[in-house]
């Protein structure tokens, strides 16, 4: 594992990156080197658990790999709706996982929590499916009437848990149909506002997984092009809603009403 990478376009305290190489170091847990959009090599620190190492290997390292490979990863929780993917984006702590958990409770299948990788190698943007687990904080679990007994912690020192969701036989890829950006209804009426053009592109680009990486990797043009390509084919909307577990039913009602109408028709 090198101490640094050659030709880095960005060097920070935790990671450094170039266009096709990414070196990450979390003391006490793991070091990762990601290269060519193909390979992740990691070095586990003594005593680090699979779960702890996994946070970074399947998080930042995998995110870097996606950007290197020219894929478009979203920081999103994603569910299946009528054979298509619906992704929820928003800053960390906005409530994506909690909303996804609510939808799972109501019978929807989870396609992913944290990252949603969008592929553009066929006629429409698609999301790959695979094993999934929700990542929920203690208070979210409590808010949903569950407890953390028997669940693995995401990181040893934090009350955040992996909640496995039943594996299902889904096709390898499903089309991405809708993206909702979570917003707090603070002094604004709750509702769903569909956005187009520049606004849609901005929503997607700002919610790319590890959205700072593209600039640091000198890949801003790629990010723009992928965000624009995705926005042109997907229904992008703002989900403005009141925060709080007591409002989850109301939010679900808003989504159901929106789903009863066809997605905004795109090319």
Partner 1 sequence: MTFPLNEQEVLHAATDHVSAEVDGQLVMMSVERGRYYGLDEVGRRVWELLQQPIRLGDLLDTLVEEFEVGRDDCAADIMPFLASLAENDLLTMAD
Tell the smallest beta-carbon distance from residue 230 to partner 1 (Å).
9
For residue 265, the SS3 value is coil
Question: Smallest distance, Å, CB 117 to partner 1?
Answer: 20
CB of 221 to partner 1, least distance (A): 5
13 contact partners, CB below 8 Å, separation of at least 6: none
Q: Considering the rule CB under 8 A, would residue 123 count as an interface residue with partner 1?
A: no
Cβ distance to partner 1 smaller for residue 109 or 266: 266
Rounded to whole angstroms, how far apart are CA atoms 110 and 133? Answer: 8
Binding residues with partner 1: total (CB under 8 A): 18
**Is the Cβ of residue 156 or residue 198 nearer to partner 1 in the bound state?**
198
Return the number of the residue (128 or 228) whose C-beta is nearest partner 1: 228
Q: Is 53 in the site for partner 1 (CB under 8 A)?
A: no
With binding defined as CB under 8 A, does residue 202 bind partner 1? Answer: yes
Name the minimum Å distance from CB 98 to partner 1.
Answer: 30
Q: How far, CA to CA in Å, does 188 sit from each of 107, 122, 242?
A: 30, 39, 9
> Could you tell me which stretch among 60-68, 95-103, 170-178, 221-229 binds partner 1 (CB under 8 A)?
221-229
- Residue 205 in the binding site for partner 1 (CB under 8 A): yes
Among residues 23, 87, 11, 78, the alpha carbon closest in space to that of 56 is found at 23
Q: Does 232 bind partner 1 (CB under 8 A)?
A: yes
* Residue 200 in contact with partner 1, rule: CB under 8 A: yes
197 lies in the binding site for partner 1 (CB under 8 A) = yes
Which conformational region is residue 62 in: left (phi greater than 0), alpha (psi within -120 to 50 degrees), or beta? alpha
For CA atoms 150, 151, 155, 157, the dihedral sign is: negative
CB of 78 closer than 8 Å to CB of 174: no
Is position 70 an interface residue for partner 1 (rule: CB under 8 A)? no
> Cβ 224 to partner 1, closest distance in Å?
4
Taking 3-state DSSP, the helix, strand and coil percentages for the chain, each rounded to the nearest 5, stand at 30, 35, 35
H runs (alpha helix) in the chain: 50-56, 62-69, 96-105, 138-143, 197-206, 213-216, 220-233, 248-260
Which member of 215, 244, 250, 253 binds partner 1 (CB under 8 A)?
Answer: 215
Residue ranges in contact with partner 1 by CB under 8 A:
196-202, 205, 215, 220-221, 224-225, 228-229, 231-232, 266
């Amino acid at each position: 594992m090198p101490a640094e990478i050659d030709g880095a376009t960005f060097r920070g305290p935790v990671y450094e990156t170039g266009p096709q190489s990414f070196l990450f170091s979390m003391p006490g847990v793991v070091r990762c080197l990601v290269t060519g959009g193909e390979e992740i090599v990691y070095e586990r620190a003594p005593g680090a658990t699979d779960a702890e190492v996994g946070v970074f290997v399947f998080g930042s390292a995998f995110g870097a790999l996606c950007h290197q490979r020219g894929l478009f990863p979203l920081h999103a929780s994603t569910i299946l709706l009528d054979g298509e993917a619906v992704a929820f984006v928003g800053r960390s702590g906005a409530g994506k996982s909690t909303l996804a958990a609510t939808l799972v409770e109501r019978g929807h299948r989870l396609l992913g929590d944290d990252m949603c990788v969008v592929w553009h190698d066929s006629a429409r943007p698609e999301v790959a499916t695979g094993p999934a687990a929700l990542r929920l904080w203690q208070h979210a679990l409590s808010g949903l009437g569950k407890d953390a007994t028997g669940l693995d912690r995401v990181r040893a020192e934090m009350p955040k848990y992996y909640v496995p969701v039943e594996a299902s036989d889904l096709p390898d890829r499903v089309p991405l149909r809708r993206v909702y950006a979570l917003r707090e209804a603070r002094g604004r009426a709750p509702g769903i506002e569909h956005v187009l053009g520049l606004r849609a592109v901005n929503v997607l680009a700002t919610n790319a997984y590890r959205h700072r990486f593209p600039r640091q990797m000198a890949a801003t043009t790629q990010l723009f092009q992928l965000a624009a390509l995705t926005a042109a084919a997907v229904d992008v909307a703002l989900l403005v809603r009141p925060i709080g577990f007591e409002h989850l039913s109301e939010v679900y009602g808003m989504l159901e009403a929106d789903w009863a109408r066809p997605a905004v028709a795109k090319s």
